[in-house]
Amino acid sequence: MPLPDWSAHLNGGGHVLIVGGSGSAAYTNSLGQYFTTDGTAAWHQSNGCTYDWYAWTSHPILKYVPINYELGNQFASSHSTHLLASSTQLTTTTLLGINCEPNYIAAVREYPSGGTVTCLLLLVGDVADITSADQTIFVTPFIRGYLEWIQYR
């Protein structure tokens, strides 16, 4: 399933947070409206190495997130595509996180209108897929940092 076209919303100053993804080519192609991807369209995990998360920069969204983190349920490390470093060639795009593969798995793009699109490609949006420690140490801090950042920008 492809993502909606949020262009009008973003250009009007709105915010979008994408968590998880889809293994379909339509999803990967539609994510390309906002970030540059490597074109992968298949679920896979970063379970062959440690850590599932490394903070790539010191962005305010990451204020409460650990610098590195290994998810307790490896299923939550699933992601369907990767972001490319060339995403930063898109105006005001910041890569936020990388996994141990190493591939970029989180980014934020800011629009001149004040709108933002942020993505975290890990499969952490369903409490059935994460541990309580994942929720407390990683997911809630990410959401808290994100919400504070968009509130005060």
DSSP-derived letter for residue 49 is S
Burial 53-84 (b: 16+ CB within 10 A, else e): bebbeebebbebbeeebbbbeebbbbbbbbbb
Residue 57 has pLDDT above 80, yes or no: yes
Out of 10-24, 32-46, 85-99, 130-144, pick the least confident.
85-99
Domains of the chain: 7-152 (3.40.50.880)
Q: What is the mean pLDDT of residues 68-87?
A: 93
Q: How far is CA 83 from CA 2, 5, 12, 34, 126, in A?
A: 17, 19, 25, 10, 22
Rounded distance between C-alpha atoms, residue 39 and residue 43, angstroms: 12
pLDDT in tens, 89-145: 777 899 999 999 999 999 999 999 999 999 999 999 888 889 999 999 999 999 999
What pLDDT is stored for residue 91 in this prediction? 73
